Each structure stands twice: as C-alpha cells, then as structure tokens.
C-alpha cells in the first residue's frame, strides 16, 4: 500500500470520526497502522529496491568505460639483432607510456541481469513483508486499549446506576429520619456507600481517560471523552475463518527468493560475450618499432567463460536448498504453534460463554433479592447496611456479566487476530 493510498484511507477514517464522533475497531486498526512510524519504512524499502533495479538496467544498457594510463621504465627492450651499413636501426626507449579508454558492451550475459532483477525484487518484497508482520502486532495493542476502554465505560455506567439507586434511597431515608421513622445510622450507612461509589466513579474516570489517551496516541485519531467506541458485528465472527497471517506470506516470499538465487547461481555456468573498443595513445604504439608517441585503436568481440565458477556450484545449491528447508521448518513450527493458540482461544471462548449463561441467572437472582430487601428496608425490617450489601452484590453480579461479555468479545477478536483477519 503506497503513501497516497494510506493517506486517502486515513482521510476517510478521520472524516468518518469527525462526522459521527464514533470510532470502530477496524478504523482504529487502520489508523494505528497509518500513524505508526514503521509504516513509512515500506516506502523507503521500495525506493531502495527501485534504485537498485535502475542501477542493474543502467549497467546492462550502457557501455562500461574505464580510463587507464601507465608510465613504465624497463631494464631492457627489444632490439633487432642486425646491423646494416648506412641504415640506422630504430631502438625502443626504455621509458614507455600508454593512455587508453577501454569501452566494453555486454552482448550476451545468459540472462544474468534478469535473474539479478528477480533476486532484488524478491528481497524488496521480503523486507516489505517483514514490515507488515511487525505492523500486524499493532492489533494486539489496539485490542488491549480499545476493549479495556469499553469495559471501563460499562463499569462506569453500572456505577452511575448504583449511585442513582443510592441517591434515591438516601432521599427516602433522610425523609424518614426527619419524621422519626428511621434511625440516623441507616442514613449514615447509605451515605457511606454513596461516597464509596463516588470514589469508584472518580477512579474509573481517570482510568477511562488514560485508556482513551493511549488509544489516541496509538492511532492519531481525535478520541475525546465523548467519542463512542464501537465494534462491528462482522468483527466478532469466528466461523470458517481462513488463516491470513502475514508470516505465511513472508515464508512464501523467502522460498521465492531462494528459487531466484538458485537460478542466479546456475547462471555462472554460462559464457559472457561482449564487444570492446580500446582507443589510446602511447609510446610505442601498436608498431613497437616506432619510438614516437602515436595513437592507436583496438576493437573486437570478447568471450569470457570462467570454468572456476562451477567449482563450488554443487555446494552453493546445497546451501540454498538447506536454507529453503529451514524456512519450511520455521513455517511448520509456526503453523503448529498457531493451531495450538487457536484451539486454546476456542476453548477460552467456550469457557466464557458458559460463565455468561450462569452470570445471567445470578443477575436475575440478585435483582430479585435486592428488590425484596428494598421492600424490607422501606418497612424497617432490615438495616440500611443489609440493603447496601445486597445492592453491591447485584452491582457486582452485573459487572461480572459485563466483564465476561467483553471478555467474550475480546476472545473472539483475539481469535480473528490470530488468524490474520
């Protein structure tokens, strides 16, 4: 995914947040990936890969040029073993000079450049996929902050309902105290429970703010006190999910790299044919009997077939094959561990579902008990602290139900995250 597309998705997510003041879990995933600094590494990796490919193309299309020069002095030079009367036999100077421009153009490389391109493209894909593997781990952080924030919201709502009930009871008990039909002790007990509930609400507010601040920092989204957090229904489906973990694609890309490297290794068996040209100037020139500085030119076709490249060919193939086997082993171990994790997560889902079924029964019973004690409190049959105890027990049962419901959501989302969905 390129930078423009990421920016467009980010703009859509931000627009949806601003319009609805609501953030879904999927939006949080996308925003966290876009906001994470490592995301920009994919673009850098792609740029490096493109430049490397461009260098390979340039080296293949353009001639190879080199300017070479040398000045030498030698202890002996070639002499003609003859002496002719009235004819001066030329002698070569012991100091000699040469300056050449060597140009070569590869005519046939046995497909070497194309194979090098394939290896580089495979390397680029692997490095980008490594980034995707790292980015996928962000989902666990998003899950933690997002779902704990939802749990805090549920806890706060239950605490506010508890405060409302206590406030109603305090008002009634205060009136009864004024009329002398209730003891001050009952009013004090209810007020003490009210203060404890207020203290819990303040603590929840601080935790709620902290979780939302962390989620905002992770995603870069404007998450405020009024922002609603939602989980789409399709984000809770765990039936027949295909495994789409980025690690599996990484293993596949690594095998593709080894295949490309094997072909590149085999390419060493082929000859190289190139055209060359060498204009230059020196003393002597091509005619070594002429001791003057002269220009010269050499050109032609060159064959290069290095047989020593095949000495280690068998071992190099074996090394690549062993590396491929290591990837197969790593993937098998990963899939085995993933299967165990998915089975454990499915067992966790079933365990929480059983708890929720019991929680609903407990909440129903606690509600009936609290209603009965409310009547008894109104009739003066029990003390306020007894009613407060039952009210807290009902509130705790409701909290347990909400906790387990959110744990079930978290377990299902974790199951989806494990499968890469």
Q: Where residue 400 sits, what CATH number does that domain have?
A: 1.20.1600.10
Residue 82 located in a structural domain: no
Angle between helices 3-20 and 39-61 (to 10 degrees): 160
Tell me: pLDDT of 20 over 60: no
Rounded Cα–Cα distance for residues 145 and 212 (Å): 7
Rounded Cα–Cα distance for residues 192 and 185 (Å): 11
91-128 pLDDT tens trace: 788 899 999 999 999 999 888 999 999 999 999 999 99
Rounded Cα–Cα distance for residues 154 and 163 (Å): 14
Residue 153 located in a structural domain: yes
Return the pLDDT at 110: 87
Tell me: pLDDT of 19 over 90: no
Evaluate whether 130 touches 249 at the Cβ level (below 8 Å): no
For the chain, the domain total comes to 1
| Phi and psi at residue 137, to the nearest 5° | -70, -15
Return the pLDDT at 359: 93
Q: Can you tell me the mean pLDDT for 136-147? A: 90
Return the pLDDT at 104: 92
* Span of 46-55, 142-151, 385-394, 408-417 with lowest mean pLDDT: 385-394
Evaluate whether 119 touches 264 at the Cβ level (below 8 Å): yes
Residue 278: pLDDT band (50, 70, 90) is: very high
Tell me: pLDDT of 12 over 70: no
Rounded Cα–Cα distance for residues 379 and 181 (Å): 10
DSSP code at position 84: B
Return the pLDDT at 69: 94
Evaluate whether 401 touches 360 at the Cβ level (below 8 Å): yes
Return the pLDDT at 47: 94
Tell me what percent of the residues of the chain surpass a pLDDT of 70.
95
Return the pLDDT at 381: 81
Residue 32 located in a structural domain: yes
Task: Enter the tokens of residue 287.
Answer: 């005619």
Rg (CA), the chain: 40
Rounded to two decimals, the pTM is 0.78
Residue 51 located in a structural domain: yes
* Span of 3-12, 316-325, 333-342, 383-392 with lowest mean pLDDT: 3-12
Residue 84: pLDDT band (50, 70, 90) is: low
Tell me: pLDDT of 82 over 80: no
Rounded Cα–Cα distance for residues 199 and 353 (Å): 32
CA 349 and chain centroid, separation:
27
Residue 202 lies in domain: 3-77+88-419
Residue among 139, 133, 155, 141 at smallest CA distance from 41: 133
Tell me: pLDDT of 402 over 60: yes
Burial class (CB in 10 A: 0-12, 13-18, 19+), 406: buried
When the pLDDT of each residue in the chain is averaged and rounded to a whole number, the result is 87
Residue 126 makes CB contacts below 8 A (sequence gap 6+) with 250, 253, 254, 257
Return the pLDDT at 14: 47
Three-state helix/strand/coil letters over 19-83: HHCEEEHHHHHHHHHHHCCCHHHHHHHHHHHHHHHHHHHHHHHCCEEEEEEEEEECCCCCCCCCC
Residue 83 located in a structural domain: no
Q: Can you tell me the mean pLDDT for 266-282? A: 92
Residue 95 located in a structural domain: yes
299-323 pLDDT tens trace: 999 999 888 878 888 899 999 999 9
203-262 pLDDT tens trace: 999 999 999 999 999 999 999 888 999 888 777 777 888 899 999 999 999 999 999 999
Residue 35 located in a structural domain: yes
Return the pLDDT at 176: 80
**Coil, strand, or helix at residue 109?**
coil
Residue 17 located in a structural domain: yes
Burial class (CB in 10 A: 0-12, 13-18, 19+), 333: exposed
Residue among 419, 412, 335 at smallest CA distance from 143: 412
Return the pLDDT at 78: 79
Rounded Cα–Cα distance for residues 246 and 250 (Å): 6
């Amino acid at each position: 995914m390129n930078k423009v597309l990421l920016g467009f998705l980010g703009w859509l997510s931000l627009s949806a947040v601003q319009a609805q003041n609501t953030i879904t879990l999927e939006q949080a995933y996308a925003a966290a990936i876009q906001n994470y600094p490592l995301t920009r590494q994919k673009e850098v990796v792609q740029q490096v890969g493109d430049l490397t490919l461009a260098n390979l193309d340039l080296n293949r299309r353009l001639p190879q040029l080199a300017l070479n020069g040398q000045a030498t002095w030698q202890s002996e030079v070639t002499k003609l073993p003859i002496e002719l009367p009235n004819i001066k036999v030329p002698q070569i100077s012991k100091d000699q000079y040469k300056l050449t421009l060597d140009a070569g153009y590869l005519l046939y490389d046995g497909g070497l450049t194309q194979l090098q391109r394939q290896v580089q493209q495979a390397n680029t894909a692997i490095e980008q996929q490594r980034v995707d593997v790292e980015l996928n781990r962000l989902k666990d952080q998003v899950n933690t902050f997002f779902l704990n924030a939802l749990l805090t919201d549920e806890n706060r709502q239950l605490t506010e309902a508890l405060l409302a009930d206590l406030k109603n009871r305090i008002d009634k008990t205060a009136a009864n105290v004024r009329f002398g039909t209730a003891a001050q002790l009952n009013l004090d007990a209810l007020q003490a429970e009210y203060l404890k509930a207020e203290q819990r609400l303040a603590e929840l507010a601080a935790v709620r703010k902290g979780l939302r601040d962390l989620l905002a920092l992770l995603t870069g989204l404007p998450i405020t006190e009024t922002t609603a957090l939602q989980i789409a229904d399709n984000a809770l489906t765990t039936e027949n999910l295909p495994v789409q973990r980025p690690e599996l694609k990484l293993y596949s890309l690594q095998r593709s790299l080894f295949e490309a490297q094997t072909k590149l290794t085999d390419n060493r068996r082929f000859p190289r044919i190139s055209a060359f040209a060498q204009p230059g100037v020196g003393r002597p020139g091509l005619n070594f009997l002429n001791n003057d500085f002269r220009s010269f030119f050499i050109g032609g076709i060159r064959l290069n077939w290095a047989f020593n490249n095949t000495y280690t060919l068998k071992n190099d193939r074996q090394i690549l094959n062993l590396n491929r086997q290591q990837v197969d082993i790593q993937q098998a171990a990963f899939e085995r561990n993933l299967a165990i994790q998915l089975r454990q997560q499915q067992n966790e889902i079933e365990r929480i579902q059983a708890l929720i079924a019991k929680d609903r029964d407990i909440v129903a019973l606690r509600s009936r008990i609290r209603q009965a004690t409310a009547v008894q409190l109104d009739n003066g049959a029990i003390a306020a602290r007894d009613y407060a105890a039952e009210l807290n027990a009902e509130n705790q049962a409701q909290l347990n139900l909400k906790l387990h419901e959110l744990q079930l959501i978290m377990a299902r989302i974790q199951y989806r995250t494990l499968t890469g969905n």
